[in-house]
Amino acid sequence: MASRKLLTLVFIIEQDRILLGMKKRGFGAGWWNGFGGKVQQGETIEEAAKRELREECEITVDSLEEFATITFEFVNDPPLLEVHLFKSHTYSGVPTETEEMRPQWFKHQEIPFDTMWVDDKIWFPYMLAGKKFDAYFTFQGHHTIQNYSITERTSSS
């Protein structure tokens, strides 16, 4: 079985707009994304999500709602990336640019999918509709989706 790397991704959503960050360095540099990163030893997935949000755009949240888990497989490039996605509608502080990310608000109809990971346009509608889901994407390189599946969670899961 392939090894897995646990990661987080956080989205701040207000009525008709969403806060995204322009990744300035590292994996995904040059693309808009949520805020997040690796889960460190000794912290829960939610603690990691809150820490990454604070580190990457200097805002804090009291609570997060986990709404999805997406597993990414990059052909011939292990490990699998298991990304836990969270959202919050409230936060404290002012979104501030850091060495890693430049935050910016986007209206839902103006989300810059042409400068984001190609899978985002597939699962963002689920997130924006308030749905919970699990997904699996297989990538060839970083720009080509080989195949994918999305399963909506039932209310009991």
| C-alpha–C-alpha distance, residues 157 and 151, integer Å | 12
- Report pLDDT digits (tens) over 94-105: 999 999 999 999
Whether the full predicted model's pTM is greater than 0.75, yes or no, is yes
Among all chains, which residue has been given the structure tokens 């836990």?
84
Domain boundaries, the chain: 4-152
Fold of 4-152: Nucleoside Triphosphate Pyrophosphohydrolase (3.90.79)
- pLDDT, one tens digit per residue, over 103-151 is 999 999 999 999 999 999 999 999 999 999 999 999 998 899 999 999 9
